[in-house]
Structure 1
Amino acid sequence: MTNNNHTGEDVISISDIYDKDINFLFGSGASFGLLPTLQLQLSDENGRKFTLEELATKFEKDRDRRFVPLFMHYYSTCIRPAEQLTLETATATDSGRPVIENYRTFLTTILEMVKRRKALDRCCNVFTTNYDGCFPLVADQLLKEGNTDFVLNDGSRGFTKRILQARNFGSYLCQTGVFGRYQSSIPQINLIHLHGSVYWSKADSAIVVDYDILSKESLLNEDSTTVLQQFSETLNSSAATLEDLQEPNFDDDALSTFWAKYEQIPIVNPTKWKFHETVYEEHYYQMLRLLSYELEKPNAVLITFGFSFADEHILNLVMRSLSNPGLQVFVCCFDASEHQVMCEKFKSYRNVQCLTIDGENLDFTTFNKKVLAWPETKETAQSVVEAGSDAVDDGAEASV
């Protein structure tokens, strides 16, 4: 596979893809600055930084008593802040404000895309492994402002209790004239949470979606948080190694009580990438089938951002879908190091292009300004690097 250095305005030409079956796949990189990723600062003996799932897998295999405290840290730094997230708290910090603005810019952009499609086909899919509320919170703000009309379909239906069902992603809201002389669909974004959501809960054999969870009690009390503090500081220290990570002073009852409650949280466990509850597990595989179905369409497009492909189920699904010659995949890479990894991962596929910006990190702001934007608003990208197409080796110029 040959890397193709290309300088120009367009990285992903919206005018070329707006009328195709568009799918986005977002990972934790999109919310970075507001919520942490699974990357830790703690290093191994070779100086390589652990990810949370790597360290958790190691602790689980070794039956290390630091396993549950590690998930206490994960809960207190990632899950609990997501449960308490509001637009007011998010935009109150210098690091959170641009994250929310980027979500807003992205939603505005893709709504403009689907508005230009034919009347009954104004829809696109946003698959996400994030369990936070950035998408629904920002979408709700846009709707309240009243400048645009659209539907954010999270797959739930109901009044006093909203039940999540996979079949609801096939529903569309249409408008007709007073005398039925015309019919058109309202622009729609299907929001599919592949790894669960903090807004989900189980009711018998159903999944309930409730966005009013600010009163939800924490799994860790103030005393537990204090005991955990030194452990968390070590995990976040770039100067620390695994030997420096001392087990916090929790007794067996405290650990087992926390773990029993943690297992009820409706998100994918980072160690095995699976749910503990059967009802969530079944929905997970239904959503994977939906992703597979969408990628098998004749003119499908998949754009990934902030996603590392650590979930082997999703990686293998995308790999299988690449046998569809009509599918085009764009993998947005944060930096040169990730770009190299992704190029190696997808080197055998002609319909994948791994994108990065030469000399600049491809964060959410850069994605909105230089990768996915209308020509009249897009900033000129400097030295865009594209890779992933063997067509380059055949003498053909790769372009997006």
Structure 2
Amino acid sequence: MERGKCEMEKLNKNFLDSIDGKNLNFLIGAGASSSSLKTISHNDNGAKNIPSIEDLFNKYENDRIAAALLKFIFFSMSVKNGLITAHSKRDKGVKENLKNYKVFIKNVITLLNSTGFERPKRANIFTTNYDTFFELAFDQIAHMHPLAYFNDGSRGFFTREVSYENYFFNISHSGSMDTYRREIPSINLYKMHGSLSWNKKTIDKDDIIISSNTNPVLDSLTKAKDNESFYEKVYKEINIFYINLKNPGSSNESEEAFKKVTEEELLINFERLLNNLKKTEIKSATDSNTSLKKKVREDLRKFKEIYDALLVVNPTKTKFKETVFEEQYYQLFRAFEEELQKPNSVLIVFGFSFKDKHINDILKRCLTNPTLQVFVVPYSQKDELNVKEIFTGYGNVSFLKEESESKDKDLANENIEYKNGDFDVLNDFLSGKNDFNEHN
């Protein structure tokens, strides 16, 4: 055991040394928010038969009923609770997530403060998440780090316009007498797939994106009206229809029955549910399930019409409904590629499933940059094998893994078990508590 301890001490800070003075970038995916927002990518409960929602979206992209049903399920899982503000209700999962984000940001600030004067004290966080954990975390730690600048690409006072041009700043601080000038750490946040804090606004006939802590589109789906939101109304209709489908003749509309049907179960039985929703035969003019079917289809159509006004990217090949959003999307992806093509760049990937072909293709192009180093925090061994398969032949991809505390671990380091790659693992590496094996 002592030998293993000495080897870890010998390797200590090699990871931090390898990223010191580099162009620092992060790619953060849905796994970062999984303590409070559902994600199937990191489902580790043995539910192997849950189909990929991305695959279903692409399979049924041109099917209006299927697309509406999938958007409803996707909204229920990953979107509806994502606008986290200072006034949001916070359950245990939200509190845990927010704490992890704050520790992460503090670690990044510490890294930037230790950077010399040869390069800007700047880090770029690229995220595919719509939620606002980063924004709230920035707000809450700003008073503790007044000499740090957080930039989400928006500028203004009452109207905060989001624009690609707002990222290109180096921020410096001088004393009240202007006797010195020093650069302070700045963190750029790129919301690559949009944000629940974004809204479209028209000014002088021009459509722009503004950032706000409210979202009228989201409110129209989730705010209660007559003791029930439109989202809750549609979910209850789908659940009753599904229960009747499983148990023909059932009229159980109890709250207990409503709660039993999860989004995962709807995905597992998606094709059966869809096929029955699309059936046109009518047994009788008074058939209750036929009447409910019509109601579900009509309300799903209304739901999709409202949902499509959200400025978020769906996991489909056809991603946009708003031209102004499409322009922002391509600008942010161009920024991602340009940063990784710079000399001596580092990309640290966390919570990302690598199911986005567009991002994978960009990474493959950028990995031809011989000075780029990519570090991936895999959630599981399966995730690690998947990344290795996608990037076979690229020698500048490494994995950040933390050994589990096993009493039976032998001195030869055989059969080493690793922890799931959660926020604690990432933060341990960024704070210098952990190091990586270059041959992993």
Distance 1:127 1:240, change over 3 A: closer
Deviation string, structure 1 residues 170-228 (Cα, Å, up to 9, x no partner): 02332223443321122110000000000111123211111244895232344223213
Residue 89 of structure 1: how far off its partner (Å): 4.5
Q: Hey, what's the Cα distance between the residues in 2 that align with 1:148 and 1:117? A: 18
Aligned residue number for residue 140 of structure 1: 139
Residue pair 1:305, 1:331 contacting (<8 A) in 2 also: yes
* Other structure's SS at 1:163 match: strand
Aligned residues: 369
Q: Give the counterpart of 1:174 among 152, 156, 172.
A: 172
Residue 242 of structure 1: how far off its partner (Å): 4.6
Aligned residue number for residue 254 of structure 1: 299
Residue pair 1:39, 1:52 contacting (<8 A) in 2 also: no
Aligned residue number for residue 33 of structure 2: 31
Aligned residue number for residue 238 of structure 2: 228
Residue 35 of structure 1: how far off its partner (Å): 0.8
Deviation string, structure 1 residues 274-315 (Cα, Å, up to 9, x no partner): 222111111111111111111111110001001112222211
* Other structure's SS at 1:49 match: coil
Comparing 296-305 and 199-208, the one that deviates more: 199-208
Matched ranges for 1:61-210 at <5 A: 63=63, 65-83=65-83, 85-86=84-85, 89=88, 92-118=90-116, 121-144=120-143, 146-204=144-202, 205-210=207-212
Residue pair 1:40, 1:51 contacting (<8 A) in 2 also: no
Residue pair 1:331, 1:354 contacting (<8 A) in 2 also: yes
Q: Hey, what's the Cα distance between the residues in 1 that align with 2:125 and 2:177? A: 34
Residue pair 1:304, 1:332 contacting (<8 A) in 2 also: yes
Deviation string, structure 1 residues 257-281 (Cα, Å, up to 9, x no partner): 2222211110111122622211111
CA RMSD of aligned residues (A): 3.0
Residue 234 of structure 1: how far off its partner (Å): 4.9
The structure whose residues are more often helix, as a share, is: 2
Distance 1:359 1:98, change over 3 A: same
Aligned residue number for residue 313 of structure 2: 268
Same amino acid, percent of matched pairs: 32
Comparing 100-109 and 355-364, the one that deviates more: 355-364
Comparing 17-26 and 236-245, the one that deviates more: 236-245
Residue pair 2:65, 2:301 contacting (<8 A) in 1 also: no
Residue pair 1:40, 1:236 contacting (<8 A) in 2 also: no
Equivalent position amino acid for 1:227 in 2: E
Distance 1:39 1:342, change over 3 A: closer
* Other structure's SS at 1:319 match: helix
Q: TM-score, with normalisation over the residues of structure 1? A: 0.83
Residue 143 of structure 1: how far off its partner (Å): 1.5
Q: Hey, what's the Cα distance between the residues in 2 that align with 1:104 and 1:166? A: 25
Residue pair 2:346, 2:372 contacting (<8 A) in 1 also: yes
Aligned residue number for residue 343 of structure 1: 388
Aligned residue number for residue 50 of structure 2: 49
The structure whose residues are more often strand, as a share, is: 1
Equivalent position amino acid for 2:125 in 1: V
Q: Hey, what's the Cα distance between the residues in 2 that align with 1:305 and 1:157? A: 28
Residue pair 1:155, 1:164 contacting (<8 A) in 2 also: yes
Comparing 231-240 and 190-199, the one that deviates more: 231-240
Distance 1:273 1:298, change over 3 A: farther
* Other structure's SS at 1:353 match: strand
Instruction: Give yes or no for the alignment of 1:316 onto 2:335.
Output: no
Aligned residue number for residue 328 of structure 1: 373
Higher relative contact order (CA closer than 8 Å, sequence separation 6+): 1
Q: TM-score, with normalisation over the residues of structure 2? A: 0.76
Residue pair 2:51, 2:268 contacting (<8 A) in 1 also: no
